[in-house]
C-alpha cells in the first residue's frame, strides 16, 4: 500500500510540476519586454549549468535591468502559491486512497450481486471521488500491465504482481455487454 501511495504521489506531483515549468517558458511579463530582453530571458532559462536558485537570481537581475521586477516577483509568488496548493491537494488525494481502495475491494469481492449492481456501486463510488479513482485506475493498470499510455506499461513482466496469461483477448460482443449490464462501460473495473 505504501508503494501505491508513493507511486501516486510522485505521478500526480510530476504531472502538476510540469505545468509550472511550462509557465516559465511563457510567463505573462515576457510580453512587456523587448525582443532583446526576451532573448536574454530565454538564454537564462535554457542555461543548463545554472541551478534553480542561480536561475532565479539571474532572472531577478534581468527583471531589474528591464523594469519588470514587480511583475517577476508577482509571478514567482504565484508559482510558489500554486506549488503549495498542489502539494495540499496531492496530500488530500493520497490520504483518501486507502479508504477508496478498501471500498473498491469490498465491492469487487462481493459475490452476492450482479455485474450490473457491481458496476452501479463502482460508478457511485467513482462519482464521489473521481480524482481518487483516476489514480486507482492508473495504479491498477500499471500493476496488471495494462497501462494504455503512450509508452505502454512501465512495469516489466517479472515485476507484475498479477502476471497476465498470454491468451489473446477479445472484446465482448455488444449483445453480451448489454446482457451483463455493461453497455456503457469500457471495463469490468468501471473506469474509463
- Compute the residue count for the chain: 192
pLDDT tens sequence across 48-99: 999 989 999 999 999 999 999 999 999 999 888 988 999 999 999 999 999 9
pLDDT tens sequence across 133-188: 888 888 888 877 655 555 555 555 444 444 444 445 556 566 666 665 655 555 55
CB atoms within 10 A of CB 110: 11
The residue extents of the domains of the chain are 2-33+68-179
C-alpha count within 13 angstroms, C-beta hemisphere, residue 118: 21
Instruction: Give the H or E element holding residue 57.
Output: helix 52-65
Which of 29 and 14 is assigned the larger pLDDT? 29
For the whole prediction, is pTM greater than 0.75?
no
Mean pLDDT of 107-132: 91
pLDDT tens sequence across 87-111: 999 999 999 999 999 998 999 899 9
Please name which of 25, 31, 36, 37 lies closest in space to residue 61, comparing C-alpha atoms. Answer: 37
Q: 92: phi > 0 → left, psi -120 to 50 → alpha, else beta; which? A: alpha
Amino acid at each position: 500500500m505504501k508503494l501505491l501511495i508513493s507511486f501516486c504521489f510522485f505521478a500526480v506531483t510530476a504531472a502538476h510540476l510540469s505545468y509550472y515549468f511550462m509557465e516559465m517558458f511563457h510567463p505573462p511579463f515576457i510580453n512587456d519586454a523587448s525582443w532583446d530582453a526576451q532573448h536574454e530571458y530565454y538564454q537564462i532559462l535554457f542555461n543548463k549549468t545554472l541551478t534553480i536558485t542561480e536561475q532565479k537570481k539571474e532572472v531577478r537581475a534581468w527583471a531589474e535591468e528591464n523594469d519588470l521586477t514587480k511583475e517577476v516577483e508577482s509571478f514567482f509568488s504565484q508559482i510558489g502559491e500554486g506549488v503549495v496548493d498542489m502539494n495540499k491537494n496531492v496530500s488530500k488525494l493520497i490520504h483518501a486512497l486507502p479508504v477508496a481502495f478498501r471500498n473498491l475491494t469490498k465491492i469487487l469481492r462481493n459475490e452476492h450481486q450482479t455485474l450490473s449492481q457491481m458496476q452501479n456501486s463502482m460508478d457511485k463510488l467513482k462519482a464521489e471521488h473521481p480524482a481518487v479513482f483516476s489514480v486507482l485506475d492508473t495504479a491498477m493498470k500499471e500493476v496488471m500491465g495494462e497501462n494504455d499510455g503512450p509508452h505502454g506499461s512501465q512495469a516489466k513482466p517479472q515485476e507484475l504482481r498479477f502476471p497476465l496469461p498470454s491468451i489473446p483477448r477479445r472484446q465482448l460482443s455488444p449483445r453480451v455487454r448489454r446482457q451483463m449490464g455493461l453497455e456503457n462501460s469500457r471495463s469490468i473495473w468501471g473506469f474509463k
